[in-house]
Every structure is written in C-alpha cells, then in structure tokens.
Amino acid sequence: MTAPPFLPFALPEIGEEEIAEVVDTLRSGWVTTGPKARRFEQDFAAFLGDPTLQAIAVNSATAGLHLALEALGIGPGDEVITTTHTFTATAEVVRYLGADVVLVDIDPATLNIDPARVEAAITPRTRAIIPVHYAGLAANVDAILTLARCHGLKVVEDAAHALPTTCGGALVGTLGSDATVFSFYANKTITTGEGGMVVTRDPELAKRVKVMRLHGISRDAFDRFTAKTPSWHYEIVAPGYKYNLTDIAAALGIHQLQRARGFQQRRAAIAQRYRAAFADLPVQLPPEPAAGELHAWHLYVLRLADAAPLARDAFIERLFALGIGVSVHYIPLHLHPYWRERYGLDAAQFPHSQHAYERMLSLPLYTKMSEADIERVIAAVRQQLLQG
Ligand SMILES: *Cc1c(COP(=O)(O)O)cnc(C)c1O
C-alpha cells in the first residue's frame, strides 16, 4: 500500500473567476495599483455594509498596521499594548515607529487579549491598544473601546483572522475602533497572495494612510495617469512607504471577497465536524462564538488536556508521520529572543498564554479539504489520543 499524499496545513481556494480576472489585468496594460485596486476597496467597504467606512488597499496587513499607527502619530516615547499570543507582525510595527510594545496575557477561555490585563498595563505613556481577533473569534472589543475612551487611547484592531467575524452582531471592521486591518496572506480566509486592507471611519486617518502608502505623494499614480489635464506635477509631503496593492493582487481579491461568506460557512461546517468528532477526547476544544455571532474559523486550535496520553510535540510528530500538516499559533512573543531580551520578559508573566502554548496545535482547516481529508484528520487525531 502506498501512503496517502501529504495533507497540507493550509491551501488557498483560487477559482476560474480569479484566474480570468488576473489574466484580464495582465492584458489591460495596467498591472500596478489602478482600477482593480479601487474596485476591491469599494467592494470591501460595501461588504462591511457601512457607507461611512473607507477601505484602503495595501500590500500586507503588516503594512496596514504600520500605516494606521503612523497616521495616529505613534512614535518614540509612546507605549502600545497588545497580546503576547500573536504573530510578531502585530507588535513589530510599533517598533518600526520607535515606540515600545507592552505585551499582556490572554483570557484562557478565548485565547484573546484580556481587557483586565490591558487595564493593568496602562501607564501615562500608553497611546494605543491593538486587540487581535485570535483564530477568527472576536476579541472583547467593547471592553477595549471602553478602556480606550476612559484613558484617551487609540485602538487599532488586528483583524488578520477575522473576515468575516461579528461582535455583537456587527462585522469586525465596523466596530468603532480607529482602524481595523485585514490580511490577504496566502493562508488567510481570503487571499491575494500578499495583501491587506485598512478600514476606518476617520477621514483624516484615511487621508494620511493613502499618502503614506505611496511615498508620501500628494496624489497617487493612478490619479496622475488618468487625469484629464496634464498631470506631471506632484508634491512629496512626507517620507512615505511603498505599501500599495497591485491590480494583479486586487483582481484576486475582488473574486475572493465575493466568496468570503461561502468560505466562512464551509470553514464553520468543518469546525463542527471536528467538534463532534473530538468531544470525547482528552482535549480542550476551541471556544465557540456566542449564539448568532460569526466566527471566521481561520484556525482550529486544539489544546491537549493533562490527561492526554502524549505531549504536544510528540502528538505533532505522530500526525506529521501520518502525513498530516499541523502548526502552532503561536509561539508567544514573550518566548522569542528579540521580545524577551528587549523587554526582559519571562513566561511567568504570561501564565495563560504559556499554558495554552505548551498544549496547543492547529489542525488543517480550509475550504478545499475534501470529505476524505476531514475524515483522515479525525481518524489520525482520535487514534493518537485514544491510544497514546
Ligand atoms: C498574518 C497575520 C498578520 C500579518 O499579515 P500579513 O498580511 O502577512 O502582513 C498580522 N497579524 C496576525 C495575527 C496574522 O495572523
């Protein structure tokens, strides 16, 4: 018998419409930021369903987070509070601006940033909070916004996992923070290969993000190209960045976005299959959203119970040997040398993140999984956790 092929941890679902739109872009003569990027921005704002929102396309969520914090004036001497249980991009952008990162622990039930820990970390230097909607489950944005209002702080949501996610029935992106940033990286819930979107209701913030995403030029290249009058003239108003999204990428995004609701339903259905199949195992299942709320199910994170017959690392090795790709989200920031050494951190300061990290793994969860793929993951997990 030949072994079944390796089941990857994540795969994008790119359809014929995406491919045709990319080809159309390639044939059009306009391959960088132009009409498709603009359409993707308009479609994205329409998807969120709030006409007061502006959506600004960028070439990654990292770029979008950087631009949002820059537009809010974060700089040296400032502190920004975020969760230790995230990808380094959430925090590194604060350092780009010369400000300091203050990491806090998570709520062990949801794995999202704990508002009580945020409150305890506020100092006179605190300027902003970056909640992350971990795995696609909404963070407690209400509590964070209340804290921000009381203390005069800005809030930028890292919504890299949260398309579409709701909080109190409202889509993430519309919740009332200063800016929300989505990612279209290859393994996210929709993808443009690389890409991101900054969403805001603040016209001044939007204006600054647009200028800074393209060199600090007062008008973007597409405006200059399509203007009806001679348009060679432009002004540089700041030392900006090169963070614009290409039309090739936006062509993918336009069609991925149209499928985002369907993708979410498929992901939620797979999560329900896992939930039913693993209910009797020595594991902690991922938290479910409250009734009526959308969970994007970017990740399916299991935590091994202390009664599990094997430890997390051994479990991952067994699954890998069975040809199943898994991952860990995340090695918390406090364990990485840069963050640990810069801020003198140790695991005892983050007991919930540390405890979860030592027991967690993320199973394959993506729309292209077949029934057989799902069954294979279920069988492998059950076999290892029942036998050890
Ligand atoms: C993927 C991710 C990012 C970065 O997104 P890019 O588009 O790759 O820059 C930021 N934060 C979190 C939580 C992520 O998972």
Q: Tell me the domains of the chain and their CATH numbers.
A: 16-258 (3.40.640.10), 260-387 (3.90.1150.10)
What does DSSP say about strands 79-83 and 126-130: parallel, antiparallel, or unpaired?
A: parallel
- For ligand 1, is residue 333 a contact (CB within 6 Å)? no
Closest-lying ligand 1 atom to the alpha carbon of residue 63: 9
Which one of 58, 62, 130 would you pick to mutate in the ligand 1 pocket, going by the greatest count of ligand atoms within 8 A of its CB? 62
- For ligand 1, is residue 87 a contact (CB within 6 Å)? yes
**Active-site option among 36, 188, 207, 242:** 188
- Number of helices and strands (H, E) in the chain? 14, 12
Which band of pLDDT confidence, cut at 50, 70 and 90, is reported for residue 258?
A: very high
- Give the closest residue (by CA) to ligand 1 atom 8: 185
Distance CA 10, CA 324 (A): 11
- For ligand 1, is residue 185 a contact (CB within 6 Å)? yes
CA dihedral over 67, 106, 337, 311, signed as positive or negative: negative
pLDDT for res 232:
83
Whether the per-residue pLDDT at 282 is higher than 60: the answer is yes
Whether the per-residue pLDDT at 223 is higher than 70: the answer is no
- For ligand 1, is residue 83 a contact (CB within 6 Å)? no
**pTM of the predicted protein model:** 0.97
CA of 289 to the centre of ligand 1 (A): 22
Active site (annotated) includes residue 188:
yes
Whether the per-residue pLDDT at 217 is higher than 80: the answer is yes
In angstroms, what CA-CA distances link 205 with 4, 71, 211, 243?
51, 6, 10, 16
Look-up of token digits 């993000």: 209
- For ligand 1, is residue 159 a contact (CB within 6 Å)? no
Q: Between the CA atoms of 315, 321, 324 and 329, what dihedral angle is there, to the nearest 10 degrees?
A: 40
The one-letter code for the residue type at 286 is P
- For ligand 1, is residue 196 a contact (CB within 6 Å)? yes
Closest-lying ligand 1 atom to the alpha carbon of residue 65: 10
CA of 254 to the centre of ligand 1 (A): 20
Which band of pLDDT confidence, cut at 50, 70 and 90, is reported for residue 225?
A: low
**Closest-CA residue to 117 (of 103, 127, 128, 130):** 103
CA of 29 to the centre of ligand 1 (A): 30
pLDDT for res 64:
99
Which one of 87, 252, 299, 330 would you pick to mutate in the ligand 1 pocket, going by the greatest count of ligand atoms within 8 A of its CB? 87
- For ligand 1, is residue 178 a contact (CB within 6 Å)? no
Which band of pLDDT confidence, cut at 50, 70 and 90, is reported for residue 4?
A: confident
pLDDT for res 388:
52
pLDDT for res 222:
59
- For ligand 1, is residue 183 a contact (CB within 6 Å)? yes
Percentage of residues of the chain with pLDDT beyond 90:
94
pLDDT for res 387:
73
> String of b and e for 59-81 (b: at least 16 CB within 10 Å)?
bbbbbbbbbbbbbbebeeebbbb
Percentage of residues of the chain with pLDDT beyond 70:
97
Distance CA 298, CA 162 (A): 7
Closest-lying ligand 1 atom to the alpha carbon of residue 195: 7
**Closest-CA residue to 261 (of 362, 141, 171, 175):** 171
Look-up of token digits 């919930």: 352
- Give the closest residue (by CA) to ligand 1 atom 14: 160
CA of 386 to the centre of ligand 1 (A): 35
φ, ψ of residue 101 in degrees (nearest 5)? -95, 130
How high does pLDDT run on average in the chain?
Answer: 96
Closest-lying ligand 1 atom to the alpha carbon of residue 64: 9
Closest-lying ligand 1 atom to the alpha carbon of residue 62: 9
Question: What are the tokens at 53?
Answer: 């929102």
Whether the per-residue pLDDT at 285 is higher than 70: the answer is yes
**Closest-CA residue to 154 (of 235, 222, 236, 72):** 72
Contact 179, 131 (CB under 8 A): no
- For ligand 1, is residue 330 a contact (CB within 6 Å)? no
Which band of pLDDT confidence, cut at 50, 70 and 90, is reported for residue 218?
A: confident
Over range 228-239, report the average pLDDT: 84
Closest-lying ligand 1 atom to the alpha carbon of residue 158: 11
- For ligand 1, is residue 192 a contact (CB within 6 Å)? no
Whether the per-residue pLDDT at 181 is higher than 70: the answer is yes
pLDDT for res 231:
73
Question: How do residues 43-71 score in pLDDT, each as one tens digit?
Answer: 999 999 999 999 999 999 999 999 999 99
Element of type H or E holding 80: strand 79-83
